[in-house]
Amino acid sequence: MTTPPLPSAITALIDQQVAALHQRYPAWEVTRLMTREGAPSGWLARRRSPLTHSQRTIGLLPELARDDAVDLVIALAVQAEIEHPTGRVPPQVERE
């Protein structure tokens, strides 16, 4: 069974998501994965530069594959935090 092509509005939204991810995470090449039939099937992000051994040792990954854009953004944010720790501590809730 062949999947009909995606409507142009959907492909435009996918293109916008990819562009936004490229802008936010320039060290990564982000691709929207598609099935052979042309249906969306996940997201792939690959680093544009190879990692050193020490970078891999601290938990940096050369690529990330996720089912949806939200999960990919979370994974990219985790990688960014590993690479450049902010040291932020969540604010304490004051008790009365």
Higher pLDDT, 51 or 14: 51
Instruction: Give the pLDDT of residue 39.
Output: 81
Instruction: Give the pLDDT of residue 28.
Output: 95
pTM of the entire predicted model: 0.76
Q: Any residues with CB less than 8 A from the CB of 24 and at least 6 apart, and which?
A: 76
The answer to which of 11-15, 48-52, 80-84, 90-94 has the lowest mean pLDDT is 90-94
pLDDT digits (tens, 9 = 90+) for 67-85: 998 999 999 999 998 988 7
